């Protein structure tokens, strides 16, 4: 229980220190999906592949950016739990990029 409470406080401290980053990460998908317009019918079939490529590129970029942002480097990932966290962060960064890029690819940006 002590570890869960410590993890919770760590997340709250990160949110408190990085308010502008958190706001940007929340607003970016809302803005991209809001660009679709209200009541319009958009065909997403042609947008999945370009958005998938953007997600892959975002995942590859996050492989190098996440350790730099955490003031670490790839050489310091010694333990399997460090690699697990790093791989999960890369996957979620790729999914986030896909979610943001999908509506933009659908309307032709």
Question: What are the structure tokens assigned to 101, written together?
Answer: 């890029």
Total domain count, the chain: 1
pLDDT band for position 49 (50/70/90)? very high
pTM, entire model: 0.74
Q: Which residues contact 77 (CB under 8 A, 6 or more apart)?
A: 67, 83, 86
> In terms of residue numbers, what domain contains 26?
2-106
What is 32-96 written as a DSSP string? HHHTT-SS-----TTTHHHHHHHHHHHHHHHHHHHHHHTT--GGG--SHHHHHHHHHHHHHHHHH
Q: How many residues appear in the chain?
A: 109
Least confident piece of the model among 43-52, 55-64, 80-89:
80-89
């Amino acid at each position: 229980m002590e570890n869960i409470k410590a993890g919770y406080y760590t997340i709250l401290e990160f949110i408190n220190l990085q308010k502008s980053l958190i706001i940007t990460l929340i607003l970016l998908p809302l803005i991209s999906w809001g660009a679709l317009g209200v009541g319009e019918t958009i065909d997403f079939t042609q947008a999945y592949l370009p958005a998938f490529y953007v997600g892959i590129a975002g995942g590859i970029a996050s492989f190098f950016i996440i350790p730099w942002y955490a003031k670490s480097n790839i050489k310091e990932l010694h333990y399997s739990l460090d690699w697990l966290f790093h791989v999960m962060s890369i996957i979620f960064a790729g999914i986030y990029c896909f979610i943001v890029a999908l509506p933009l690819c659908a309307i032709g940006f």
